A and B are shown apart, each in its own frame.
Chain A
């Protein structure tokens, strides 16, 4: 994919359409530009976004603290690289920065070998970007979060004696499809990140999602019956969890960020695992997930119609959560569920109790439609 954008044009010899000095090596949409103008373009897109955020808790003297989760993929590594430079630039000019970063990696693998690899890789991040604080958290810790309704999940309340990992595996194993497993794992991951943010005094989370990723998410969540949650999944700003969600790379395409990650100086390639972190626990499964489908789909759309990708995100970002509603938190994802809209039954598309299996009827407690679908399939 990066080959497309890095398409070197040595015989072309045309000068960069932006600086008119260097030879062109990259594309910004239809413009041919040089490497340094390309790097500048991506950096500026991210910084400009950052500057539009009115980050809560910020005041003149006390820099606000933000959580930056790294998946070891190119997007989050690039974002850290850009923001590290941004912060350094602020120090150089004003001897202070307007924000600080806490970098976290959520360990989604249960194998001890994988965990050791993760520890080692995060140590590399630390030595490459030493200004920030770091932590590593296992996904299994999500099971001890307050507000998970075990009864709604048809599982017993976890005890201290339970090994988190076993429990996580048990929960995921109870689901019959790869899509459901990946859905629940990413749901738990999101809640865990909020918890990590709170524990570390962060007022917001900076996600590394590119335009393309946000477009994928728009359609993925729609396909999983989570359309109601889109205002909190693709828009910058307040989340129902009390911390703000920000997407500074929302104006950068996936192929652009991939190219960018290979150009950073000093290099950051060593910080990036080729496998994107998005496939999570289901990475071992041969089964395709809805997430996989959308990744493939938008890869091809991005190739020919990058502005359509951006327009999908612009469109879904216009959706607004309903104010002043009678809501209850979902027992799994924690998002507000409007009264009488919980579960996969009892709505227009499923009024008929005869078609339910006995297992599906046994649940009590509040689950949103999307969580309920994954738990029941």
Chain B
């Protein structure tokens, strides 16, 4: 059998077919190119400055373990001058995090990095086990999700760190882009494509240096570098839109390996094409639909372990029902308005004709979204009290679960939804 030589060094034997472009590489060249690409991502986006203290959101899984390993390597190789710290969250679910936290503790030794594990009890005064005691098994995922989204930021803030990096990879980003197309959520699509969220004015910025790295290459890198990470079947079943987008991404990758990268590129380009007024419309029209179900989760980030047994088609069915009601309502309105404008002798232009029904009811409700901070915890939020604090207030009064998912179409509920939207925007 003929030896295939590495396409890059042309001396060593090719052992790896790069998932991204099917190039045949030797082990050393694969590791080099994988690291070089992340270095490029970091330098071309000016992600870090010398002296930065960076918290690596570490779960013990492959993505965050590879991120920690690569950042350590690059920091030393190119003298980034970064102060790297591992930051892990303990939800306080007995037994659930034990193995992954053990992995992170070993990583801290292997990479010679300080490790800080912050518990929900420290951050919120409640462990998830305690939350379950109060509100029961059902519905506790809402709490865990809301709490987790803020946990890294709150943890970083506790440590006085202004920048958290997470292990989100190209597959995650591509999946989020397709998911938001399916959910009809352009504003969130646009937000999900940027490598950094938050800016110099925010307390804590978030970024994803592995944004362009393929999941398969992350696994390969971890394997060939013999990294110590925790493999676990994720107990959390993704909500229907994400699950649907995920299987689509896997199929696309099979048909054309570059497709993951191509979706990311499309998402970046489309983000520039989202008009401002659409952000408003979408906020009132489509997002309120998706919010009730998707709960604003931006990227597939592991679960809390308490599988909720949710029917995975539920979110799509819910949205379908709401859209149908919307359609019925707006088709009635269009009938009226199109009559009126024809009487005027006015030709509707294409935008007007498309959104007659929509415009009428959104103009009333449209509220400018401004980012402020929660009066209670200081976390980014578009209204006085953020979602986590609202939930906490309920918990602390020892009341059962607050009504956060409201299906009734009244003014009050949409106001609440807007509030929630503010929170999720902040979390993005």
List, in ascending order, chain A residues with CB within 8 A of B112's CB: none
Beyond A290-B252, A320-B275, A351-B40, is A225–B316 a contact (Cβ under 8 Å)?
Answer: no
Closest to B7 in A: A357
Contact of B248 among A226, A235, A293, A305 (CB under 8 A): A293
24 chain-A/chain-B pairs, Cβ below 8 angstroms: A29-B324, A52-B347, A54-B349, A222-B181, A222-B266, A223-B252, A227-B266, A227-B269, A227-B270, A237-B350, A287-B255, A288-B255, A304-B320, A306-B320, A310-B327, A315-B184, A316-B181, A317-B354, A319-B275, A348-B211, A348-B212, A349-B261, A349-B265, A354-B8
A185 to chain B, nearest CB (A): 16
List, in ascending order, chain B residues with CB within 8 A of A289's CB: 255
Which of B33, B36, B269, B327: most chain A Cβ within 10 A?
B269
Beyond A290-B259, A293-B251, A357-B23, is A352–B37 a contact (Cβ under 8 Å)?
Answer: yes
Contact A312 B181 (CB under 8 A): yes
Contact B181 A315 (CB under 8 A): yes
Closest to B43 in A: A351
Contact of B212 among A293, A315, A349 (CB under 8 A): A349
List, in ascending order, chain B residues with CB within 8 A of A2's CB: none
List, in ascending order, chain A residues with CB within 8 A of B313's CB: 304
List, in ascending order, chain B residues with CB within 8 A of A354's CB: 8, 32-33, 36
Docked pose: A293 CA to B250 CA in angstroms = 11
Chain B interfacial positions (CB closer than 8 Å to A):
7-8, 18, 20-21, 23, 32-33, 36-37, 40-41, 44-45, 170, 177-178, 181-182, 184-186, 195, 211-212, 244, 248, 251-252, 255-256, 258-259, 261-270, 272-275, 278, 281-282, 286, 313, 316-317, 319-320, 323-324, 327, 338, 347-350, 353-354
Contact B262 A352 (CB under 8 A): no
Query: Which chain A residues in 81-120 approach chain B with CB under 8 Å?
Result: none
Docked pose: A314 CA to B265 CA in angstroms = 21
B47 to chain A, nearest CB (A): 11
Beyond A305-B320, A349-B212, A355-B37, is A219–B261 a contact (Cβ under 8 Å)?
Answer: no
Contact A231 B37 (CB under 8 A): no
9 closest A-B pairs by CB: A227-B266, A225-B262, A307-B323, A351-B40, A52-B353, A228-B269, A319-B273, A315-B184, A311-B184
Beyond A293-B248, A305-B320, A352-B33, is A228–B266 a contact (Cβ under 8 Å)?
Answer: yes
List, in ascending order, chain A residues with CB within 8 A of B282's CB: 315, 318
Docked pose: A48 CA to B357 CA in angstroms = 15
Beyond A52-B353, A297-B248, is A348–B268 a contact (Cβ under 8 Å)?
Answer: yes
List, in ascending order, chain B residues with CB within 8 A of A287's CB: 255
List, in ascending order, chain B residues with CB within 8 A of A48's CB: 338
List, in ascending order, chain B residues with CB within 8 A of A347's CB: 265, 268
List, in ascending order, chain B residues with CB within 8 A of A319's CB: 186, 270, 273-275
Per-residue CB contact flags for chain A residues 334-377 toward chain B (1 = under 8 Å, else 0) read: 00000001001001111110110100000000000110010001
